[in-house]
Amino acid sequence: MTVIPRDYQREAHEAVRKAWADGVQRPAVVLPTGAGKTVVIADVTTTELAERDKGLAVGRVLVLAHRDELLRQAMNKIRDVAPGLRVGVVKGTEDGVGAPVVVASVPTLRHEARRARVRGVGLVIVDECHHATAASYLSILNHYGCFDAGGARALGFTATMSRGDGVGLGEVWQEVVYQRDIKYMITRGFLVKPRGVYVRVEDLDLSKVRKSGGDYSEGQLGEALAASMAPERIVDAYREHALGRSTLVFVPTVEFAHLMAQRFTDAGVTARVVSGAQPEDECRRYIAEFRAGKVSVLINCMKLTEGTDLPIASCVVIARPTMHAGLYIQMVGRVLRTHPGKTDALVLDVVGASKRHALAGLVDLIGERSVEEDGSDDEDKPERELLDDEERGEDYGERAWLDGLLVAEDVDLFHGQQARWQRTYGGHWFVAAPGDRFITVIPSLSGGDDWDVISVHRSYIGESDWIAQGVSEIGYAMAHGEGVISQDLGYAKRQATWRKKPASEAQRWRVRRNGLVLPEGASSGEASDLINIAEASRRLDPYVPAAR
C-alpha cells in the first residue's frame, strides 16, 4: 500500500522546495518523534527523482543515517511511498552505489574510498541532522559540495535541533524552514497525550556527579544510581503505576541496565537489555520480542533514543538524568506514537529530568548562550536545588501524594507557558518574538470554540504566517506559538534575567514615541511590556476577530 503524506508532511515538503527556490542551499525541518520524518524524506526523494527524469533536476539522491535502524527505516519508507523505485544501500559489505537513491551509513561514507564510489549526487538528505557538526558528517557534505555554490543541495531532518555540547548547528543548517512541535501532533491526534509522574528517590544525590561535554558523566551517574535506592524505586514505580504497560527504561550505563534487568526479573517481570555493546542481532531479537508483547520491560543504554519505532510502548521510565533537553525529549518521544488500544503515555521520572526540561519544541542553531542572552543560570545551580525548584510557583500546578511505598508527584510535562504572554488593549493574547514579530492567539477564523495561532510582523501588515489552526484549547495554542520561538525563548521568557535591569535609553525613547510615560526607576522588563502592548495593540486590534 502506498503511503499518502499527511497535510503537515506536504507543507514541510513545500517549505523545503520554496527554500531551495529562494537560494537556501541547506534548509532543515524539525518534526517531533512519531510525526513521520521519513515520509517527508521519501516524498522529497521521489519528487526530486521525478523532476530529474524530466530534466528539471540533476543528480542522485543520497540519504544519510548514522545508525542501522534509521537507515533501514528510511529505505523501507521510500519503498512504501514509491514501490517501484530502486533504492541501494551502502553500509559495510552492501554496496548499492548505482541506484537512483542511495541510503548510506555515515560510518561507512566517512571513508574517502567509499564516498568516491557514490557519484553524481545532487541532493544529500541527513536524518537526525543535529549530529551534522561531527567531522564524519562534514567530510561527506564537503565532498559533495553542499557548502559550495553550484554544489549538491542538502536537507536536514530532526526532532531536536540542538546539541548537548553547545555546538551551534547554524554553521551547517542555514534555516529551519518548517517546524511542528509535540503539542501540535497531540492536538491533531497523531501522538498520544503523555502524563507525567515524578517518583522521589530519597537518597539520590547528583550534586557530586562530574559533568563532561555539557552533561553528566555516564560512569559516575551509573555509580550514583546503583548506590542509591533508585533500583528499588524504579521497580516499585513500575509495579504501582505501570504494571501491564509495555515499558521502556532509559539508563546511563550498561552495568546499571543489567542491574535493573535483574531487579525486574526478581520481581517477576520479564525484562531485557539492549545497548550499543551488544551484537546487533541480539538487540533486534529482544526488540522483536518486545514488539510481540513477550517482553514487558526493555531496558536500554543509549540505544533507542533515535530511530526505533516501538508504538506498543506506553510507558517510559526516565532513570537517565540529563542536562540536555534534546535527549530528554527524544526519550519521552519513544512512547508517544499511536497504537491500537493506546490512549495515553505514562512518563515515570525517578531522577527529576521532567522538572528540568519541558516537552516544548527545541530549535537551537546558535549553540551555547551566555546567562545574559537566555536569562538562565541553571548551569550554576546544584542539582538538588534544581529538583526542588520553587520558581514556577502557582503556575507549575503539581501535587504530591503518598502512594504505597512511594512519594510521587504529578508533573506538567509541558511546564505551562514559559513565555511572557500579554494582552493588547483589545484583549488579544500575544507574545513578542525575535525578528520584529508578534505571535498571537485568536478565536478561530473557522468559528466554534477553537483557536488559531498566527505570526505577524510588528510593522508590516502583509507579513503574516499561520502557525496552527483549529486548536481546541488556548493553552495548547500558546504552546504552539512557544514552539516556534523556542530557539530564542530567552528573549520572551517570563523570568528572564534581563527584565530586572534598568530601562535603557533606547527603550525610554520608544516609550515616548508610543505616547506613554515610563515610571521613575522602571526596569527593562516594565519598559518592554509597555512598548509591546502599545505596538501589538496598534498592529493586532484593528485586524483580528474580537477577543474572548
pTM for the model? 0.65
User: Grid coordinates representing 303?
Assistant: 540505544
Distance CA(7)–CA(57), nearest Å, equals 25
Judged by average pLDDT, the poorest of 90-99, 252-261, 275-284, 477-486 is: 477-486
**Cell numbers linked to 13:** 515538503
The DSSP code for 274 is: E
Residue type, position 68, single letter: D
Residue 473, all three cell numbers: 484549547
Integer angstrom CA distances of residue 103 from 63, 92, 175, 230, 489: 5, 12, 24, 41, 36
Residue 367 has pLDDT above 50, yes or no: no
Within 13 Å of residue 331, how many CA atoms lie on the same side as its CB? 32
Question: In terms of pLDDT, which residue wins out, 106 or 70?
Answer: 106
Highest mean pLDDT pick, 84-88, 166-170, 461-465: 84-88
Q: 26: which residues sit within 8 A by CB, 6+ positions away?
A: 146, 147, 153, 154, 155, 156, 172, 173, 174
Measured in whole angstroms, the distance separating CA 265 from the mean position of its chain's CA atoms is: 33
Distance, CA of 363 to CA of 484 (rounded, Å): 8
Amino acid 57: pLDDT: 63
Looking at residue 387, its pLDDT comes to 31
- Residue 193 grid coordinates: 497525550
pLDDT of residue 371: 28
Which tens digits make up the pLDDT trace of 347-362?
Answer: 998 888 877 777 755 4
In three-state secondary structure terms, 395 is helix
CA-based torsion, 139, 123, 362, 297: positive or negative: negative
Interval 517-528: pLDDT, tens: 888 888 888 898
Average of per-residue pLDDT across 303-321: 82
pLDDT of residue 364: 40
pLDDT 10s digits, 173-213: 888 889 888 878 887 888 888 888 888 887 787 777 887 76
Residues 214-230: pLDDT tens digits?
678 888 888 888 888 88
Q: Is the pLDDT of residue 287 over 60?
A: yes
**Domains, in order of start, for the chain:** 7-180 (3.40.50.300), 187-411 (3.40.50.300), 422-540 (no CATH)
Note the pLDDT of residue 415: 60
Q: How far is CA 96 from CA 88, 113, 300, in A?
A: 4, 15, 32
Cβ 288 vs Cβ 375: under 8 Å: no
Question: Residues 453-459: contacts with CB within 8 Å, 24+ apart?
Answer: 453/477, 453/478, 453/480, 453/481, 454/544, 455/481, 455/484, 456/539, 456/540, 457/539, 458/535, 458/536, 458/539, 459/539
| Closest C-alpha among 413, 237, 215, 409 to residue 319 | 237
Predicted pLDDT of residue 375: 33
